[in-house]
Amino acid sequence: MSDLYSGLIVIVIVGVIIGLIFILVAAQKKKRVEALRTLASMNGWIYEPVEETLSSGWRLSKGEWMIEALNQTTKNTSENSTTVTSQTLWTSKSARLADGIVLIGPHQPEINFGGMGEMMIQMALRLMIGSEADIAVGIQRVELGSLELMARYMVWTNREETAKKLVDDQLENALRAWPLKMPPVIKFSPKGLEIKVQGSRLAGEQDLLALVKLGNTLLDSAYQTEKGQ
């Protein structure tokens, strides 16, 4: 009988702990949402929660740009498993490249694997470019900006003159001042402008402000680039 009582006590204690965990998680989520709403209100942004079957997070927007910060769930039916990935995406269609593409991403180590190395580079580029791989024909790495910038970032393009205009002093300064550990991936194409932070759903005030600042700088540089075309 004592074993039965002991077992019931353990079940009750475990249930209480699980209940407390759910309460704490819900409270943290509510606190985070309220902080985002306050930040949006202070800066004139529009806040929109996202609660879909396979996606959750929020959207922020103002005028010419939008930010999506999402956790996305992918189900693998064959292995009966799920994978959750996080991403924050800043986009704008206010400035578009007539044709071709400019891609700015984190610096990759130089590894000489011969033809296999080139194949790996092209695969990585396709992951960064996504659905616009068809307009990236002839894309090559170009060296632009200061040595400090090139030590942290790489520029790939099939429109070198456009890339030279886009990576101006103000954009270089913004990239060098980027405070987050995960470097952004920037894309300028016929679809518009994009800044992607992979592996992280940004929520902190300083992180979001840094992303908005980089986005506004990118817009200014893209506008100047369009004028020069």
Which of 32-41, 75-84, 112-121, 205-214 has the weakest average pLDDT?
112-121
Q: CB of 130 within 8 A of CB of 117? A: no
**Full-model pTM:** 0.80
Range of the domain at 131: 90-228
Residue 166 lies in a domain: yes
Residue 5 lies in a domain: no
Strand spans (E) along 21-125 = 46-51, 55-62, 65-76, 81-92, 102-106
- Give dist(CA 9, CA 5) in Å, integer: 6
Residue 189 lies in a domain: yes
Tell me whether residue 115 is exposed, middle or buried, using C-beta atoms within 10 angstroms of its C-beta: 0 to 12, 13 to 18, 19 or more. exposed
Q: Minimal CA–CA distance to 107: which of 60, 141, 67? A: 141
Summarised one tens digit per residue, pLDDT across range 102-134 is 999 998 766 554 554 556 666 666 666 777 777
Total number of domains in the chain: 1
